[in-house]
Structure 1
Amino acid sequence: MAQDRKKSYADKRRRPIKFEVGDKVMLKVSPWKGIIRFRKRGKLSPRYIGPFKIVARFRKVAYRLSLPEERNSIHDMFHVSQLRKCLVDEATYVPFPEIEVDDKLRYVKEPIKIIDQ
């Protein structure tokens, strides 16, 4: 009886995670591997990196991601528990090289276009 009660509690919180080929996902970074591969530690270390596109699905729990060339040291097959659905809209994506930060950690605002003189 106790096992059935615990199972019913767990089943209410458990949700099936399923992705389709072509979906964008974020990849979970383990703390120890994050220090080695991403060179950051402590509170500011990344928890998830991405977004990456799913290329293929193997069985129910394994997915192959398309990783960029700088991440070729990482194997491209991941368990579903290491992935999280990316909810970011493509139109809101800002590439990082375009943002310039000075030595006091302030970014410079530049006008895009002059509307009137």
Structure 2
Amino acid sequence: MQAAQDRQKSYADQKRKLMEFEVGDRVMLKKCYTDELLVMPLKGIHIDDKLQFVEEPVEIIEREIKRLKQSRLPLVKVRWNSRRGPEFTWEREDSFKQKYLQLFTNWASSSTTRS
């Protein structure tokens, strides 16, 4: 087994070239083959300064009041723009409203037209 690995390594090493680059050098990137089903559209994507995908809420789908023993907790069902496709989560209305007030103004106007 070791002999076969060594032989394969020697074949690969013959084709490899030691390459060193400096800042500012221009290089040609290798061709990348991808699965078309995994390609993510770039439209509507937001990336922060650390180059991480920022998921943002798109709309409020539904409202619900969770009844606890001593209190009631208003919740909203939110649709997010996720890199995996649409995702939905239930969020506390009060804390969510502080961050994304514009979604509530859209919800109020659309909920009156739905009635």
Q: TM-score range by the shorter chain?
A: under 0.3
| TM-score, normalization by structure 1 | 0.24
TM-score (norm 2): 0.24
